[in-house]
Amino acid sequence: MLTRGTLIYIGQRIVLIAFTVLAVSSIVFLGIHRLPGDALFSEHLHGQQYELLLHHYHLDEPLWIQYRDYLTGVVTRGDLGESLVNKGVQITPLVLRELTISAEVGAFALIFTIGLGLVLGVVAAVRQNTWVDYVLTTTSVIGYSMPNFVIATFLLLVFAVWLGNQTDGAFYYQIGGGWTGSIGQIWLPAFALGFPYASIVARLTRASMLEVIRQDYIRTARAKGLKETVIMVRHALRNALIPVTTILGPLVIGIITGSVIIENIFGIPGLGKEFAQSILNRDYAIVIGVFTMYAAMVGVANLGVDLLYVLIDPRIRY
């Protein structure tokens, strides 16, 4: 499976990802530095102190030197610079630590989304044109029409307010709590992040299952006397998965984007919360850093999806 061609393909893609990340990072860097106003406006400093601070961040140098230093920092040391609001805080370690937290919640959301979506999609397809199907297809429109912060609000209302405090305050996150943590720490945020996308996965799975189960080889499998569950899972679902895989790229993007809101609502100290906070605080250095991180994550996720095709469908080769 891992032929030489595949390895070359992966290599090319990684180079491409690196260039995309660099381009995104540069565009945001230059875009932000063109903004009118002062990056240190929140400091209320004047005279020499202000000059010192400008010098500390190298903001007194011409833009192209700043840009050159920034680029060399990113490329050679993976250094994203220093926070403009909290002096002395290095961005790279901060962002990496927050990334592990976001990744934990995101992974749960992803597993939940795909699992629920596949199950509902298969059930709706097998029971096509029965009330089960109608309920599921209608619910899926409702599902992807609800913004994630609305779902989060309802979850908090139900679990934190109406059912008494089931969430340990809900605005508290224990690092490394994992699935053993209270529902407010990981299950509710993961549900809020994943539910809209679970509806989309369910819809896609249903449509693609309906297409597959009309194929001749399914009839052959039935004629052989295989059990219906075996036919559905091993023969139909595996082939129905290929169109569903295409949604995984947008799905990862969706979960990253969603985390910007959901982490704020549930008080999860992850990358998304940092991003939203930095934008409001006008901490440009962190905004650039986190956005660079996002570009890298999306690139890697898209590569992962493309490699997944090979796993699911042996006919696909790169």
Partner 1 sequence: MATAAAVVAREIPSPEQASLWSDAWRRLRRNRMALISTIYLVLLVLVALLAIFYTPYRMSAVGIAPTYSGPSQAHLLGADGVGRDVLSRLMIGAQISLIVGVGTQLLVVVVGVTVGLLAGYYRGWLDSVVTFIINVFYGIPDLLVALILVFLLGPSLTNIIIAIVVTRWMDMARMVRGQTLSMREREFIEAARASGAKPVKILFGHILPNALGPIIVQATFGVPAAILFEAFLSFLGVGIQPPTPSWGSMAADGIAALRIAPHIVLAPSIALSITLMAFNFLGDGLRDALDPRSRR
| Burial readout 8-18 (b: 16 or more C-beta within 10 A, e: otherwise) | ebeeebeeebe
Instruction: Return the residue of 6, 26, 92, 153 that touches partner 1, per CB under 8 A.
Output: 153
Question: For residues 120 and 221, which CB has a smaller minimum distance to partner 1 in the complex?
Answer: 120
Q: CB within 8 A of 311, min separation 6: which ones? A: 1
Question: With binding defined as CB under 8 A, does residue 160 bind partner 1?
Answer: yes
How many other β-carbons are positioned within 10 Å of the β-carbon of residue 305? 17
How far, in Å, CA of 86 to CA of 96, rounded? Answer: 17
Q: What is the dihedral of CA 132, 135, 140, 146, to 10 degrees?
A: -150
Instruction: Return the residue of 287, 289, 292, 296 that touches partner 1, per CB under 8 A.
Output: 287
Instruction: Return the residue of 9, 149, 172, 309 that touches partner 1, per CB under 8 A.
Output: 149
Q: How many residues bind partner 1, per CB under 8 A?
A: 42
How far, in Å, CA of 282 to CA of 48, rounded? Answer: 23
How far, in Å, CA of 110 to CA of 112, rounded? Answer: 5
Instruction: Return the residue of 8, 142, 233, 316 that touches partner 1, per CB under 8 A.
Output: 142
Question: For residues 31 and 115, which CB has a smaller minimum distance to partner 1 in the complex?
Answer: 31
Q: What Å distances lie between residue 156 and 8, 106, 189, 196, 233, CA to CA?
A: 48, 19, 10, 17, 36
Minimum Å gap between C-beta 254 and partner 1 is: 8
Question: With binding defined as CB under 8 A, does residue 275 bind partner 1?
Answer: yes
Handedness of CA 239, 257, 113, 120 (dihedral sign): negative
Q: State which of positions 222-261 bind partner 1 (CB under 8 A).
A: 249, 253, 256-257, 260-261
Instruction: Return the residue of 106, 189, 270, 299 that touches partner 1, per CB under 8 A.
Output: 299
Minimum Å gap between C-beta 194 and partner 1 is: 16
First-to-last CA distance in the chain? 10
Sites of contact with partner 1 (CB under 8 A) = 20, 24, 28, 31-32, 34-35, 138, 141-142, 144-147, 149-150, 153-154, 156-157, 160-161, 210, 249, 253, 256-257, 260-261, 264-265, 275-276, 279-280, 287, 291, 294-295, 298-299, 302
